[in-house]
A = this chain, B = another copy of it.
Amino acid sequence: MKCKICGKEATVYLNYPRMRLCKEHFIAYFERKIERTIKKYKMVSPEENILIAFSGGKDSAAVAHVFKKLGYSITGLHINLGIGEYSNKSEEYAKKQSKQIGLRLKVVDLRKILGKGVGEAKGSRPTCSVCGTTKRYILNRFAYEKGFDVVATGHNLDDETAFVFNNLLHWNTEYLAKQGPYLPGENKFVKKIKPLYETMEYEISEYVKNLGYTYITGKCPLSSGATILKYKKILDEMEQKGPGTKINFIKGFLKKKHLFEVEIQRSSPKECNICGMPSLGEKCAFCKIWHLEKPVKL
């Protein structure tokens, strides 16, 4: 099996577009793909400061490596979620990766700022929802307060198709309207971008392994029942039978997303009584979940 470009021994087999590549040409292919995604969605300009959500996993390692190589100004933010050994290992990986990349890394530790891990919030919300809200809040507020222009996350094509699929099946049209590879900033919301939006998980693993990174693997121990994993499995099977299913589905979504925009409930922007960040009600979701009486220090 030979590389399509140079004829040397191929080490990677891509399903869509169907292609075999050697290590060198796969890396070049991958990086060109991310660069194109960044340009296509006009994600970021060279003078902007980027904060990367840096988990210790493969996705954020790939994002940071590519941004570094392209010469952008980047900083990583690792959030230690306080999920025992899993979180400690994740932080170790994040630190190790950041040294390899040459990335400035900041760490916010949930146990230090809240006294609790993400699985210990009191209330009726599922843990995955608590975790999502908490991470989004910290990332955004950190970026806003420290003057970053944009927050980049490692969400990949598999994540995004599962998200859209789930929300379509449940007709959460407002969520659909607010999703995409690029979410513009507004007031205290910093711009959000997803450079891996069109890239599959297996390509990302292959890329970071080829570059010699190690990363946290395995599911989060608190996510065992997460419905999103069920949808990922269905989509994986569909992709297997019909290569290109995911990318075509997500591209179709972006073309038709405007149809859902009438569902966005416009409310006059409020600020949280506690922390002053954007909020739907008197108190923002983060301060509510964690029963805060004064803002956490990041």
Contact = CB atoms under 8 A, between A and B. Distances in A.
Nearest to A168: B168
A293 B157 CA distance: 50
Contacts of A253: 171
B252 A241 contact: no
A294 to B, nearest CB: 41
A146 interface: no
B249 A169 contact: yes
Contacts of A230: 241
A238 B234 contact: yes
A269 B263 CA distance: 31
Contact of A171 (B170, B238, B245, B256): B256
Interface centre among A171, A260, A263 (most CB of B within 10 A): A171
Interface in A156-189: 168-171, 173
Contacts of A170: 248, 252
A237 B234 CA distance: 10
Interface in A123-182: 168-171, 173
14 contacts: A168-B168, A171-B249, A171-B252, A171-B253, A171-B255, A171-B256, A173-B256, A173-B259, A230-B241, A234-B234, A234-B237, A234-B238, A259-B260, A259-B262
The 9 closest A-B pairs by CB, nearest first: A171-B252, A259-B259, A171-B256, A168-B168, A173-B256, A169-B249, A234-B234, A259-B260, A173-B259
